[in-house]
Chains A and B, each alone.
Chain A
Amino acid sequence: MQPGQVNTRTAGAQAYWRRFFPAAQPQLAPCALSRRTIYILPNRSGLLFAVVLLTLLIGAINYNLALGHALVFLLAALGLVSMVHAFRNLHGLTLAPQRATPVFAGDTAQFELAIDNPTSRPRYALRLWATPELPLEFALAAQHRQTLQVALPASRRGWLELPRVHLESRYPLGLFTAWSRPWPALRLLVYPRPNNHPLPAVSASYAATGPLPSAGDEDFSGLRERQPGDPLRHVDWKAEARNSGSGPLLIKEFSGGSANELLLDWAQTDPQLATEERLSILCGWVLQASQAQQRFALHLPGCALPAGSDESHRLRCLEALALFPA
């Protein structure tokens, strides 16, 4: 057999496979549940139901019960009809990624998804999960849209991608499970698990590196327009009162004052510890420092973040810790 032939055949088979099982990749656009993506099979109750029907049929034949036949056939028809209804309960729903906020390792991440029922019939008893331990049960009214928080335990720092979610329904009779596995593209950052080590002394941080000239909050050096993320306590409220609220908010800028500036350095952590442990310690320091509204800088191998004290600085530091190469 020619190798080329095999290849074309495999390629054909792959194309065929892909046609029915579309490439598994997260989707940014809303995932619509259609007959291609909804699967349906009898579940445990359904199999029990089938066994019961078979027993009833044998009884009806053996005792020659015409109404027994009718009962079995009506139940079987009911089962088949319920299969169509189970499928219909999922058909036409769309699931769209919304947003996700970062969490610390060890916490439970919440991915926000929007589920939309554009049809004129309500949907019942839907279950949605990213992991079967944390299912979400809900119903959807006709022409209704709902945002849902899908939970997923975040165990490791770094990017956490939402895996394929599982949307299933046993409506109406619980004999069939209809399910779909849409994959809305959504990811979030998992910061290292913070460790509650005491902050290093200010002097100690200096001893390690020396002063870093940067914008701080020691001596007043001038005014500038406020930008999102600037702390409110730096707003020049008096100037604001003079303008009687018509102008932009002004921020008082300070310079120098490095005596209180903190340096959080990778080198300060115990080199005996594992990387993750050291990152946890740094993460704890970042949190404590920003809690105390202290200016701090973060130095990691291959990455130095200048000192700052605002929210955006804190997020930058946490991100650097989260994405630190292992």
Chain B
Amino acid sequence: MRRWFKRSALPPPALSRSEPPWLFAVALATTLPHAFTQPFWLTAWAGLCWVWALILWRNDRRLPARWLLLPLALAGALAIRIEFGSFFGREPGVAVLVLFMALKLLEMRQRRDAVVVIMLGYFLLLTHYFEAQDIPTALWMLFALWLVSAALLRLHAGALAVRPVLAQSARLLAQALPLMLIFYLFFPRIPGPLWGLPQDAFSARTGLSESMAPGSIGQLVQNDAIAFRVRFDGPVPPKNRLYWRGPVLTAFDGQRWQSGPVTGGKPVIDAAGEDIAYEMTLEAHGQRWLLALDAPRQLPADARADARLTVLLARPLESRQRFRLSAALDYRFNEEETATSRALNLALPAGFNPRTVALAETWRNTRTPEQIVAAALTHFRTEAFYYTLQPPLLGRDSVDEFLFVSRRGFCEHYAAAFVVLMRAAGIPARVVTGYQGGEINPHDGFLVVRQSDAHAWAEVWLAGRGWVRVDPTAAVAPERIERGLASALPAGEPLPFFMRASNDWLRPLLQRWEALNNAWQQQVLGYDQLRQQALLQRLGLPGGWQTLAWLLAGLSTLGLVLLTTLLLYQKRRTPPEIRLLQHALRRTGVHCAPAESPLALAARLARENPETAQRLAPVIESFVLVRYAPDGREHLATLRAAVAALGRRRTP
């Protein structure tokens, strides 16, 4: 017993010649997915080390000396320091792991080194999930673990051929999967993070931003990525009423729209009709706002609505998350508005867009605010405006140029121009960005909203009615609101892949794939503390981590005991030669006495039934060979043939 932990008196076991290829495979399987995301020089550097180690192994050459590896390691570390500015954090951490892995391949002398390679491989596997956690990544994890376990097996099972090692590794993995399922379901989940994460913990993400310039949304629309998914408790409202409210922009400097200062107290919503409840799974966008359906009513516990009715979280959303919300489609919003807020929403930069201001001035004194809104929309509708993703570049007076010269633009052009017109005419107005519409995936019933559904519209404040949504894009291209972007744009516009009509045949496939991904995200990746408690509730068990701990311990013990029993007490299989002989005897209708040896049987048959004896003679002869000859197994084929011949001869 004491011996258990003592270091062996023998020199540490060296690696045999046939072992390194397994470790090369491990290194490749665990670093390859990083090759495309890490800096190019690092990929090249690691690849060179890998190839070098491979060549040394192939030619059975000695590994480089330590004094040669040390400067290599230092140079790599220095390069990482220069590239990332630090060794800590997510990306430099991954880079250091890749560096270690590549260097370790050049230092594989003992079994201990091989074990280090494998442990590094485990860490590298974990780092894949910073980038993606989708189904292919999970499959790659299984594949890589299969290889890694095979390598570990090869190191500890003696000299086995490739195929049995792979087969045994697959068997181990298959036996481990049920246990893993128990762990996954019942291991008490702790919501992270445990401590503050480094700044670069999350990579940059696409989505709306807190400012808008001509063309910024048009760029976003080129992206097929899913922004969020929604499941309504009741029926899905009509598409033209699905305005997903994001950041509201009030400050205009002539070029860009910015968020500006937020004034006023709690928003006041006067809703008519019943609230529409829904659950939203929002992809991480690294921002604080939610994209609530206009107008938001009930909010999640950790969110609040600011004075401009943007729903904000306490901290930026850095991982995909589910929220329960409700909305009122018919509402009145802030019928009373403070003077400061109205003033903010009337401000225009001096000296910009004189023609627009002049046009608005002509409306200002002759019409009521409602009439001014209608006049502006009529202007968009009757003049020759085009809805296009490829507007010409605009100069200093961007709104003037758009309204009177180019007349080509995307939603942000229309929204911005409309708001400038309203402000010049003395009506408080602002730009609202967000998403509009969405598409139902027929396979799971979720409404999928993509980046390509990004939209910008306007909101005007009318006395007695509060803030009213006006979508000038609807005046120019009503199809955009009714049916989506693809039908609103003229032919030949560069559309995102998912929207192209030529890809119609692919759409069902893609939808199916996305439904599968959604199920994966909702059921597997989204399995968190809340779902765990819900599962316990459904099983009729009390919640809390104690129940989970008991379940975990009980079920995994049960699983292990079951596995042990299955593995140890496998039914002993009758050896093939016995089965063949029994088969032959059955076929010829010969009865063999319990203690009769095959030769005694042959002798008895020769006396009693010479014809059958003759038929059975080759079977018994080869049976005796298989059973008792020193190289018995080699005669198995003969026996099999003899038994088979028995059947053939009897058929007439």
Residues of A within 8 A of B (CB): 39, 41, 43-45, 48-49, 52, 55-56, 58-71, 73-78, 80-82, 84-85, 87-88, 91, 120, 124-125, 132-133, 135, 137, 139, 166, 170-174, 177, 179
Residue from A41, A78, A84, A171 in contact with B567 in the complex, judged by beta carbons closer than 8 Å: A84
- Point out the residues of chain B lying under 8 angstroms from A172, CB to CB: 152-153, 156-157, 168, 172
- Residues B155-211 near A (CB distance < 8 A): 155-158, 160, 168, 172-173, 175-180, 183-184, 187, 189-195, 197, 201
Residue from A45, A56, A81 in contact with B176 in the complex, judged by beta carbons closer than 8 Å: A81
Q: Decide if B126 touches A71 in the complex (CB within 8 Å).
A: yes
Residue from A67, A73, A84, A170 in contact with B180 in the complex, judged by beta carbons closer than 8 Å: A73
Binds A, one of B385-393, B523-531, B540-548, B589-597: B523-531
Q: How far is the CA of A78 from the CA of B170 in the complex (A)?
A: 11
Q: Decide if A81 touches B9 in the complex (CB within 8 Å).
A: no
Task: Check A52/B197 contact, CB under 8 A, given A66-B525, A76-B183, A84-B563.
Answer: no
Q: Decide if B9 touches A133 in the complex (CB within 8 Å).
A: yes
Q: How far is the CA of A268 from the CA of B189 in the complex (A)?
A: 86
Q: Decide if A69 touches B184 in the complex (CB within 8 Å).
A: yes
Q: Decide if B184 touches A174 in the complex (CB within 8 Å).
A: no
Chain A residue at minimum C-beta to C-beta distance from B157: A124
- Point out the residues of chain B lying under 8 angstroms from A52, CB to CB: 119, 122-123
- Point out the residues of chain A lying under 8 angstroms from B538, CB to CB: none
Residue from B156, B556, B572 in contact with A120 in the complex, judged by beta carbons closer than 8 Å: B572
- Residues B487-521 near A (CB distance < 8 A): none
User: Interface majority SS on B: helix, strand, loop or mixed?
Assistant: helix
Taken residue by residue from 10 to 36, chain B's Cβ proximity to chain A (1 for < 8 Å, 0 otherwise) reads as 100000000000000000000000000
Q: Decide if A60 touches B126 in the complex (CB within 8 Å).
A: yes
Q: Decide if B567 touches A64 in the complex (CB within 8 Å).
A: no
Q: How far is the CA of A61 from the CA of B129 in the complex (A)?
A: 12
Task: Kindly provide the distance from the CB of B82 to the nearest chain A CB, expressed in whole angstroms.
Answer: 25
Chain A residue at minimum C-beta to C-beta distance from B155: A174
- The A/B interface has a contact count, at CB < 8 Å, of 159
Decide if B263 is an interface residue (CB 8 Å cutoff). Answer: no
- Point out the residues of chain B lying under 8 angstroms from A91, CB to CB: 568
Residue from B168, B191, B197 in contact with A63 in the complex, judged by beta carbons closer than 8 Å: B197
Task: Kindly provide the distance from the CB of A203 to the nearest chain B CB, expressed in whole angstroms.
Answer: 52
Residue from A48, A49, A64 in contact with B192 in the complex, judged by beta carbons closer than 8 Å: A64
Task: Check A48/B155 contact, CB under 8 A, given A63-B197, A77-B180, A77-B183.
Answer: no
Q: Decide if B563 touches A81 in the complex (CB within 8 Å).
A: yes
Decide if B607 is an interface residue (CB 8 Å cutoff). Answer: no
Task: Check A132/B176 contact, CB under 8 A, given A62-B197, A66-B527, A76-B183.
Answer: no
Taken residue by residue from 466 to 503, chain B's Cβ proximity to chain A (1 for < 8 Å, 0 otherwise) reads as 00000000000000000000000000000000000000
Q: Decide if B193 touches A62 in the complex (CB within 8 Å).
A: yes
Decide if B138 is an interface residue (CB 8 Å cutoff). Answer: yes
Residue from A43, A73, A139 in contact with B187 in the complex, judged by beta carbons closer than 8 Å: A73
Task: Kindly provide the distance from the CB of B91 to the nearest chain A CB, expressed in whole angstroms.
Answer: 13
Q: Decide if A67 touches B3 in the complex (CB within 8 Å).
A: no
Decide if B149 is an interface residue (CB 8 Å cutoff). Answer: yes
Q: How far is the CA of A68 from the CA of B524 in the complex (A)?
A: 12
Residue from B4, B128, B130, B201 in contact with A41 in the complex, judged by beta carbons closer than 8 Å: B4
Task: Kindly provide the distance from the CB of B84 to the nearest chain A CB, expressed in whole angstroms.
Answer: 18
- Point out the residues of chain B lying under 8 angstroms from A43, CB to CB: 4-5
- Point out the residues of chain A lying under 8 angstroms from B184, CB to CB: 69-70, 73
Q: Decide if A81 touches B141 in the complex (CB within 8 Å).
A: no
- Point out the residues of chain B lying under 8 angstroms from A75, CB to CB: 122, 145
- Point out the residues of chain B lying under 8 angstroms from A67, CB to CB: 128-129, 133, 137-138, 141, 525
Task: Kindly provide the distance from the CB of A35 to the nearest chain B CB, expressed in whole angstroms.
Answer: 9
Q: Decide if B119 touches A133 in the complex (CB within 8 Å).
A: no
Q: Decide if B158 touches A137 in the complex (CB within 8 Å).
A: yes
Q: Decide if B157 touches A171 in the complex (CB within 8 Å).
A: yes
Task: Check A74/B172 contact, CB under 8 A, given A59-B126, A67-B141.
Answer: no
Decide if B573 is an interface residue (CB 8 Å cutoff). Answer: yes
Q: Decide if B119 touches A70 in the complex (CB within 8 Å).
A: no
- Point out the residues of chain A lying under 8 angstroms from B194, CB to CB: 58, 61-62
Q: Decide if A49 touches B525 in the complex (CB within 8 Å).
A: no
Q: How far is the CA of A82 from the CA of B179 in the complex (A)?
A: 12
Task: Kindly provide the distance from the CB of A254 to the nearest chain B CB, expressed in whole angstroms.
Answer: 47
Sample of 18 A–B contacts (CB below 8 Å): A43-B4, A56-B123, A59-B126, A61-B192, A63-B197, A64-B191, A66-B129, A67-B138, A73-B179, A74-B173, A74-B177, A75-B145, A81-B172, A81-B563, A88-B567, A120-B572, A124-B157, A171-B156
